Amino acid sequence: MNELKIFTPATIANVSCGFDVLGLALDNVGDEMIIRKIPENGIIISKIEGQDLPLETHKNVAGVAGLALLAEAEATHGFEIEIIKRIKPGSGIGSSAASSAGAVWAINELLGKPFNTSDLVRFAMEGERLATGVAHADNVAPALFGGFTLVRSYEPLDIISVNTPSELYATVIHPQIEVKTSDAREILRTTVQLKDAIKQWGNVGGLISGLYTEDYDLIGRSLQDHIIEPIRSILIPAFDSVKKNSIKAGALGCGISGSGPSIFALSKGEETALNVGEAMKAAYNKVGIKYDVHVSKVNKQGIKIIN
Amino acid sequence: MNELKIFTPATIANVSCGFDVLGLALDNVGDEMIIRKIPENGIIISKIEGQDLPLETHKNVAGVAGLALLAEAEATHGFEIEIIKRIKPGSGIGSSAASSAGAVWAINELLGKPFNTSDLVRFAMEGERLATGVAHADNVAPALFGGFTLVRSYEPLDIISVNTPSELYATVIHPQIEVKTSDAREILRTTVQLKDAIKQWGNVGGLISGLYTEDYDLIGRSLQDHIIEPIRSILIPAFDSVKKNSIKAGALGCGISGSGPSIFALSKGEETALNVGEAMKAAYNKVGIKYDVHVSKVNKQGIKIIN
């Protein structure tokens, strides 16, 4: 095998109560990548379709993540990467993570799988470090494992793949405004009220329980964020009305995707998820900002080979 | 049925990472209570064996919890309660919770079960309010549900009964010193570092995952408390050496039981739990403070009828 074409999914990080630790992968929203062996050592980004992103290996997240893998691999050759970029950078649904995770996943396949998935998360995090200044794992982990993932710990890195109920669908609205991850991080306070933190870890516990027992109602009750959302939502126009409309349309819960500006909702079943999409659109049509809406099953597989 | 004799278990609240939300029930450590119908309305505490506690209904946690239940019940008679107190008050393993939970559980049985277990938690919390000034649920919930419980939310009250692996054993050492719950609460800070809170909810997520997947190693990795233990452990002599010895003896994790002074460890299998008990004793024998050690399976049943 000298070449692979893959689908690498968009991801929703944080998932309301799980700031910096929870994430999930989408099923029909993502990039495509072609990775092929080349005789020269190192990594070449030969082509990026769809977005204006740097081709220089050291400035490209897929390049940096791939080099992190190669630094620990015994490879007698290098890799060429083409990216067909469908996820818009800065949308808050893991655009850089899809590229980083896709690159290391495909290179690992082409090398005969010398690394396990947790290793791949570690390499892909180097792409995230380039993209945002912080090597976070909450997008690359679900892209690589599929489904829901929990970053239990960063030191040492400990990723838990969490059961994902089959009827869980995500609806995402991406308003075409820019919220820089660094800005979204800067407005956060470094301390939080203990009473709010207790509510938050109660909800994390409830969400994880609900995922294992496939209790959709419990999942919904647990999708609350008492710490980050009250601060970050002010950066997102019409956040409150999108959330209100989504819940009214039957969503289990609704919150900020990653650091925004995308807003996500989770629903039981595709029909409800589609209705939630219409309800989100109705809220945004009043605002006068362009948007995209995605409806997707939560993807249990993660990155996959396509034709 | 006019009379019941019950076993009502000791409980471990907080369980390292789950301050104010997690708890578990013990199997062979607890009180006995006899509850019988009487013609007069209200509740009489007729006898307390083993401890010097108030018999006046309004000053006794079992009395207060029972009255909270009766205020919502249609009862044409009252109840007499005898308590055989084996859990020492102030030990940090849910002495007041055992009495409150036992009273409302038995009264509900004798009334033909008009209330569900979550209602019983709510009534028993009134006993906790009398005992500590705060109507917390993290001891009464596991006493009533058995196994591990999560208080996802207090407003509204939302208790989740979490899967409990069969080979999970607890070892508890109770040093005979007094740590008042109110003092243990007062030394806590009202704010916490966001970075520590993130670690904490990562561990809560990991612990809940480990309980559902019966992954003892993950349970162990998740039994960490970055927020409360560093502060409260200074109130407990030899805490660090008990913890170190316990882990060395094979415990999955070790922390403060409730607000202390008891220290608990969880282990896989009874043999390890017994070894951990010896390791705890070895640490305390150097201190010169009297202690009790309990080794118990984690109780999946909660309160039960005995002869």
Query: Locate tokens 């000053």: which residue?
Result: B59
**Looking at the predicted structure, is the pLDDT value of residue B180 above 80?**
no
Q: Which two tokens stand for residue B249?
A: 């003896």
Residue B106 has pLDDT above 80, yes or no: yes
ipTM of the complex: 0.96
Three-state DSSP class for residue A209: helix
Q: Are residues A178 and A129 located together in one domain of the fold?
A: no
Q: Please report the pLDDT score of residue A204 as a whole number.
A: 98
Residue B295 predicted with pLDDT over 80: yes
In a domain, B112, yes or no: yes
Asked if residue B64 belongs to a domain, the reply is: yes
Q: What is the mean pLDDT of chain A?
A: 96
**pLDDT exceeds 80 at position B54:** yes
Number of domains in chain B: 2
**What pLDDT was estimated at residue A71?**
97
Among B15, B159, B160, the strongest candidate for a mutation testing the A interface, having the largest count of A CBs within 10 A, is B160
- Which CATH number covers residue B257? 3.30.70.890
Considering the domain architecture, whether residues B142 and B259 belong to the same structural domain is answered as no
- What is the residue type of B79? F
Contacts of A21 in chain B (CB under 8 A): 198, 201-202, 205
A176 lies in the same domain as A286: yes
The pLDDT assigned to B178 comes to: 82
Please report how many Cα atoms fall inside a 13 Å half-sphere around the Cα of residue B261, on the Cβ side.
Answer: 22
CA distances (Å), A292 to each of A86, A168, A172, B284, in order?
12, 20, 8, 63
Domain that holds residue A131: 3-162+300-305
Residues B208 and B285 in one domain: yes
Rounded to whole angstroms, the Cα distance separating B89 from B258 reads 13
**Inside any domain, residue B121:** yes
Contact state of B150 with A209 under an 8 Å Cβ cutoff: yes
Mean pLDDT along residues A293-303:
96
Q: Is the peptide bond before A261 cis (omega within 30 degrees of 0)?
A: yes
Question: For residues A124-133, b (16+ Cβ closer than 10 Å) or e, as one string?
Answer: bbbbbbbbbe
Q: Answer yes or no: do B158 and B172 share one domain.
A: no
- Tell whether B281 and B200 lie within a shared domain: yes
Between B22, B193, B203, which is nearest A190 by CB? Answer: B193
Tell me whether residue B132 is one of the annotated catalytic residues: no
Q: Tell me, yes or no, whether A127 and A17 share the same domain.
A: yes
pLDDT score of A124 more than 80? yes
Q: What pLDDT score was predicted for residue B206?
A: 98
- Tell me how far apart the alpha carbons of residues B184 and B191 are, in angstroms, rounded to a whole number: 16
Classify residue B307: in a domain, yes or no: no
Which of B123, B139, B162 lies at the terminal end of a domain, its last residue?
B162
Q: How far is A106 from chain B, CA to nearest CA, in Å?
A: 28
- For B199-226, the pLDDT digits (tens) are 999 999 999 999 999 999 999 999 999 9
Instruction: Kindly list the residues from chain A whose CB atom is less than 8 angstroms away from the CB atom of residue B157.
Output: none
- The answer to whether residues B34 and B82 touch, using CB atoms and an 8 Å cutoff, is yes
Q: What is the CATH number of the domain that holds A93?
A: 3.30.230.10
Are B34 and B223 contacting, i.e. CB atoms less than 8 angstroms apart? no
Give the number of other CB atoms < 10 A from CB of residue A287: 14
The CA distances from residue A173 to A13, A198, A249, B88, in Å, are 14, 30, 15, 56
pLDDT band of residue A185 (cuts 50, 70, 90) is confident
Q: Which residues contact residue B49 at a Cβ distance below 8 angstroms, ignoring those fewer than 6 apart? A: B82, B83, B84, B85
In angstroms, the CA B171 to CA B279 distance is 10
Question: What does the pLDDT read at residue A184?
Answer: 80
Q: Are residues B180 and B60 in the same domain?
A: no
- Co-location of B231 and B152 in the same domain: no
Of B162, B188, B212, the CB nearest to A194: B188
Q: Mind telling me the catalytic residues of A?
A: 128, 181
**Which of A193, A204, A209 lies at the smallest CB-CB distance from B191?**
A193
| Identity of the residue in A160, A163, A197 whose CB atom sits nearest the CB atom of B200 | A197
Could you tell me if A232 and A115 lie in one domain?
no
CA distance B68 to B71: 5
Of B162, B182, B206, the position where a domain reaches its end is B162
Residue of A nearest to B211 (CA): A209
Q: Domain check: are A12 and A152 in the same one?
A: yes
Q: What percent of chain A has pLDDT over 70?
A: 100
Coil/strand/helix, residue B229: helix
Claim to verify: residue A145 and residue A193 sit in the same structural domain? no
Note the pLDDT tens digit of each residue in B149-176.
999 999 999 999 999 999 999 999 999 9
- Mean pLDDT confidence for A148-158: 97
Contact criterion met (CB < 8 Å) for A192 and B194? yes
Q: How many CB pairs under 8 A join A and B?
A: 136
Does residue B141 lie in a domain region?
A: yes
